[in-house]
Amino acid sequence: MDIPDRVHAKRSLHRIGYYRLSAFAYPYRDFCPIPTPDGEAEQKVRCDKFKEGTSFDQAINFYLFDKALRIELLDAIERIEIAVRTAMIEVLGELGPHAHRDRRSYKDSFSEKGEDGNTPLELFIAGLDQHFRSSKEDFAKHFALKYFGPPPIWIEAGTWTWGNLTHIIAHLSDKNKMAIAARIDPDLPMKTFASWITALNDVRNSCAHHARTWNKPLVNSPGVPPKTTFGQLDHLRQPRMGDDAPTKKIYSAIVIMIFMLRQYYPRTKWHIRLRDMILTQDLPYEIRPQTAGFPEGWEHEAIWN
């Protein structure tokens, strides 16, 4: 690797750390042949040698681009999280102020006792209660001083994390899950909706923990609705296999975020801003948009315009 400014490189390593920065240099490592067990063919794997012409600045530029991307994603995720939480409050709140604590709001399996005699619902509620009691939010402290008993959902939900939302949605009854999904779009299947929330929770955690996001496979891929349900999403069904498939990389999560944002904020320009940011980047071949699941001609798809 060429290091034109060693002082800058040393300073960067002290700020960012070698191990973290090495993830952004990884795409520039060369492929080296290794013999196969049968000795008849050779495999190529990433090795410690960098491709000729690789510079330290390329790793830094990738790091800065990924950081800018994560900031944009967090902006959208914040709005989606608040909107989904509000939808859940409205759906469950219509059933009662403490419907989120009622086993009837969930699948039967969420109330089945385990070997320790507790149900998953009881353990989950205990965790929510502990989190609320330890909250430093003024509304939580005010409720604890003024009232007795557990807080209603519209108050307690203010301390929930995206992880809490994901867990609740995963275990809600079909009726409640469908009701929340319908507030995004009446045609949105509840299973697809639940997969979106799980996938976006992973993206949110990746962004919040400052982890490389651009060309890393998703832990959980968002589901794609049946063909023609939402024409803007049909291009995610392209027959591409492996980790380069659109649904296996951040591209699919971004498209889902655009769809949800436009349902909640019809006049949003977030996707335009993100599209232009990516198009104006002079991304090297090693981290071109296709490595993040972006299909050829992605910028011309209806969802981006």
Whether 39 and 72 map to the same domain: the answer is: no
Whether 106 and 236 map to the same domain: the answer is: yes
Q: How does DSSP classify residue 282?
A: -
Distance of CA 24 to the CA centre of its chain: 19
Residues 52-93 have pLDDT tens digits of 999 999 999 999 999 999 999 999 999 999 999 999 999 999
Distances (CA, A) of 137 to 81, 93, 116, 157, 296: 18, 21, 33, 12, 47
Greatest Cα pair distance in the chain: 77
Whether 275 and 298 map to the same domain: the answer is: yes
Mean pLDDT of the chain: 92
The answer, yes or no, to whether residue 40 has pLDDT greater than 90, is no
Q: Which DSSP string corresponds to 166-184?
A: HHHHHHB-HHHHHHHHHTT
The answer to whether residue 1 is domain-embedded is: no
Whether 13 and 74 map to the same domain: the answer is: no
Whether 130 and 166 map to the same domain: the answer is: yes
Whether 85 and 11 map to the same domain: the answer is: no
pLDDT of res. 41:
61
Q: Which DSSP string corresponds to 192-250?
A: HHHHHHHHHHHHHHHHHTT---TTSPPSSPPP-PSTTSSGGGGGGG----GGGSGGGSH
Whether 91 and 195 map to the same domain: the answer is: yes
Residue that is last in its domain, among 54, 71, 89: 54
pLDDT of res. 190:
95
Grouping H, G, I as helix, E, B as strand and the rest as coil, residue 131 is helix
Whether 109 and 190 map to the same domain: the answer is: yes
Report the percentage of the chain scoring pLDDT > 90: 84
Confidence of residue 242 (pLDDT cuts 50, 70, 90): low
Whether 50 and 65 map to the same domain: the answer is: no
Confidence of residue 116 (pLDDT cuts 50, 70, 90): confident
pLDDT of res. 243:
52
Domain count, the chain: 2
Confidence of residue 117 (pLDDT cuts 50, 70, 90): confident
Nearest Cα to Cα of residue 218 among 228, 208, 206, 227: 206
pLDDT of res. 46:
85
pLDDT of res. 87:
96
C-alpha dihedral (164, 167, 168, 170), degrees to nearest 10: 150
pLDDT of res. 36:
72
The span from the CA of 178 to the CA of 187, in Å, is 10
- If you average pLDDT over residues 130-158, what whole number do you get? 93
Whether 42 and 71 map to the same domain: the answer is: no
pLDDT of res. 43:
76
The answer to whether residue 267 is domain-embedded is: yes
> 24 is in which domain, residue-wise?
6-54
Residues 172-225 have pLDDT tens digits of 999 999 999 999 999 999 999 999 999 999 999 999 999 999 999 999 999 999
Residues 256-297 have pLDDT tens digits of 999 999 999 999 999 999 999 999 999 999 999 999 999 999
Whether 84 and 121 map to the same domain: the answer is: yes
Angle between helices 190-208 and 162-171 (to 10 degrees): 160
pLDDT of res. 110:
94
Nearest Cα to Cα of residue 88 among 151, 187, 164, 165: 165
In this structure, of 77-86, 238-247, 294-303, the range with the lowest mean pLDDT score is: 238-247
The answer to whether residue 106 is domain-embedded is: yes
Whether 46 and 136 map to the same domain: the answer is: no
Q: Which helix (H) or strand (E) holds 110?
A: none
